Structure 1
């Protein structure tokens, strides 16, 4: 959930002034009666201009229905949702982080929407987010929006180092790292790439690009797969980047300690691998970076392709105890329409139910997001995954042990795999 909470902040940081939308009555039909539709969305997920237009249009299409819109905070939301979903009067529409969905679906507290997928633009859903909504062969919600990590870089430093184009393969990426390092050799504080030792979301891209995974499902159980040859190859490339870049980032913390966007904002870093809001944060730390930043998708080992990326994202669901499930489905149908998905894209998010990313591709980071998102993936869809992120994350421990030399590659992956398998077993 940590990565997701960062995404929620990012939606706020990147929100732009959305154009006002006219209302219409062609998105729904029928008299709703004097009813209230309670909607919980998370802080920063959608700009007020979007939700104001959405609710006005929905109410116009459903005479007698009033939308009660409540913005929730991410802090403590897991407990609040647990209480609400098991109570007698839950909300009618809720937003969930994509790593939360399996937990609530497995507890039978979400409405099965398998029969409604086609009416909710199911043919355009982001594949990665669709996976996060699938439990026991059924669909328990609709994708809302997502973001993924891209490589943010200093265009002026690239130019000065003679790098004329953004890398489109791992080999080109490593070459760019080395050129930056050589061009700035006189500055002992310079880092070609800032890469913390425990950026495990980044590691996922390298493991997936090698054809591996963190865990595999066997029947109805999950077991770790970190000791596979593919996973080991992903770790080896991670170490190759760390060694080539001269990064001074701690090997025993992740990108939040210290905040990598603040380090990037010191002007001594050529690249970082981060979320869109981190680019905005770097500019806030150093306003002179405005106009000097570019972005490209994390490259694959196969030239011309992008590596798979973790999709930090958000889903929308209908509680099983909703008093207005049909109205809630109409609400989701309207929100899944191109009109509102375009508004999400204009705000800097990857739309969850639209393959049209034209509105997103107006900035360098937007183009990079759009290019990588179709190849996005999520962590294992199991309620026990929450224990991996909330506890002593085996992937973080593995990275630190390997990068510092405390353990060999084989020992680090074997130990992490055993810990992961134990956690996934519940």
Structure 2
């Protein structure tokens, strides 16, 4: 999932069911793959320059083979990837959004990576790895993921007399109130349809967005725990002048923040670069902290969005592909992803890497204690297709409807989408 903002879409129906029976033509050891080339599909913006450079060099040194990264665009990737994985010569390794992995696994398109996970990922955060599994089996390995933090303007907080960062949700709301009363800044920029922030709140309240009924998955949006999460969102949004019928990308919230009169945004860490690109003068004013929860002991619930690496089930170079994954997902290279991009550390050993990136350091506590994803069922992908009905639910509640009434209005649409899979 690109930066946690790209909605998962339904896997194209053309993907044929294939057994994970591919094999490597060469099972030799170090330097035994000399002259071979491994094809790895990555999404635009996913593989940062230094990470790519060091992984490529390490892979060639260890195996004698070369790796070709083929960059794909998010637009239309579901159909393109579905087609590629069903062919006799698929890409060897593919990047798949973490909320989309279950759909490809169900189609039989991915190799089982359980043994590899035991070798290299014994200490990975369970929240990261959960989205790489389906039906109890390991069909992918987590590459990177991130969760939202509070990105705040230090100058505005100082104007409001705020010296200590909030440790609880109530303290955060009091800070927003102080900004509102003591400055001319907007305390928080939060449009009404920041769906992934809302999903995090449902994780925090223990809500399930779907449930089983008559052997089928159906909407659970009417659950009181979902209503509680929406009420929390409404409390946040009350501090914002942002439109109630837009999401964080229309306009890009980082560009709004860059203007210098916004106290805070609920953001992914990489959004700081967007803000600085729009206004370089704001660089030294940007700070980050973990989104505080109801108590200081547990941060707010967060959606952990990112991507997994998977091996094509029909691939002919599975042994070499696994060697690539051993290198690409080593602690050294995972640490590079954290430092270079600001992704959330997926193991305790990456804590030092996070210290070099304030956004990653702020994201880590919630990822460890309060993270989750959207429902990890193949049917869920269709729910988030544009237009996402849950965004309409959010706007309706913010405009005065009760959560129960707003849920009732869209549950038939959610159920219809769930039934298509």
Question: In structure 2, what is the Cα distance between the partners aligned to 1:341 and 1:219?
Answer: 43
Which of 319, 337, 346 is equivalent to 1:344?
A: 337
Matched, 1:278 2:271: yes
Matched, 1:167 2:166: yes
Cα drift, residue 208 of structure 1: 1.9
Structure 1 residues 298 and 218, CA gap change in structure 2 (3 angstroms): farther
State the SS of the aligned residue for 2:366: helix
Q: 2:354 matched to which residue of 1?
A: 360
Moved more, 319-328 or 409-418: 409-418
Residue 338 of structure 1 contacts residue 354 of structure 1 at CA under 8 Å; is this kept in 2?
no
Matched, 1:94 2:87: no
Cα drift, residue 221 of structure 1: 3.9
Question: In structure 2, what is the Cα distance between the partners aligned to 1:150 and 1:364?
Answer: 10
Structure 1 residues 340 and 3, CA gap change in structure 2 (3 angstroms): closer
Structure 1 residues 398 and 6, CA gap change in structure 2 (3 angstroms): closer
Structure 1 residues 353 and 174, CA gap change in structure 2 (3 angstroms): closer
Question: In structure 2, what is the Cα distance between the partners aligned to 1:214 and 1:3?
Answer: 22
Cα drift, residue 66 of structure 1: 3.0
CA deviation profile, 1:259-318 (whole Å, cap 9, x unmatched): 111111222211111112222212222222111111111111123321121111010000
Structure 1 residues 236 and 319, CA gap change in structure 2 (3 angstroms): same
State the SS of the aligned residue for 1:326: helix
Structure 1 residues 192 and 152, CA gap change in structure 2 (3 angstroms): same
Moved more, 193-202 or 40-49: 40-49
Matched, 1:37 2:38: yes
Q: TM-score, normalised by structure 1?
A: 0.87
Question: In structure 1, what is the Cα distance between the partners aligned to 2:49 and 2:348?
Answer: 21
Q: 2:295 matched to which residue of 1?
A: 302
CA deviation profile, 1:162-209 (whole Å, cap 9, x unmatched): 21211111110111111110002xx4xx31111101111111222222
Unaligned runs of 5+ in 1: 8-27
Q: 1:117 matched to which residue of 2?
A: 117
Aligned pair count reads: 397
Structure 1 residues 74 and 363, CA gap change in structure 2 (3 angstroms): same
Unaligned runs of 5+ in 2: 8-28
Matched, 1:197 2:198: no
State the SS of the aligned residue for 1:117: helix
Moved more, 359-368 or 163-172: 359-368
Question: In structure 1, what is the Cα distance between the partners aligned to 2:344 and 2:404?
Answer: 37
Q: TM-score, normalised by structure 2?
A: 0.88
Residue 202 of structure 2 contacts residue 208 of structure 2 at CA under 8 Å; is this kept in 1?
yes
Moved more, 49-58 or 232-241: 49-58
Cα drift, residue 5 of structure 1: 5.5
Matched, 1:233 2:232: no
Cα drift, residue 116 of structure 1: 2.7
Question: In structure 1, what is the Cα distance between the partners aligned to 2:96 and 2:152?
Answer: 32
CA deviation profile, 1:369-396 (whole Å, cap 9, x unmatched): 2222223211111222221111331210
State the SS of the aligned residue for 1:41: strand
Cα drift, residue 353 of structure 1: 6.0
CA root-mean-square deviation: 2.2
Question: In structure 2, what is the Cα distance between the partners aligned to 1:339 and 1:40?
Answer: 21
Q: 2:387 matched to which residue of 1?
A: 392
State the SS of the aligned residue for 1:350: coil
Structure 1 residues 115 and 142, CA gap change in structure 2 (3 angstroms): same
Structure 1 residues 156 and 284, CA gap change in structure 2 (3 angstroms): same
Structure 1 residues 212 and 283, CA gap change in structure 2 (3 angstroms): same
Question: In structure 1, what is the Cα distance between the partners aligned to 2:381 and 2:264?
Answer: 30
Residue 339 of structure 2 contacts residue 354 of structure 2 at CA under 8 Å; is this kept in 1?
yes
Structure 1 residues 422 and 199, CA gap change in structure 2 (3 angstroms): same
Residue 126 of structure 1 contacts residue 143 of structure 1 at CA under 8 Å; is this kept in 2?
no
Cα drift, residue 146 of structure 1: 1.0
CA deviation profile, 1:104-124 (whole Å, cap 9, x unmatched): 111111111123321132x22
Structure 1 residues 6 and 409, CA gap change in structure 2 (3 angstroms): closer
CA deviation profile, 1:87-116 (whole Å, cap 9, x unmatched): 110011111111221221111111111233
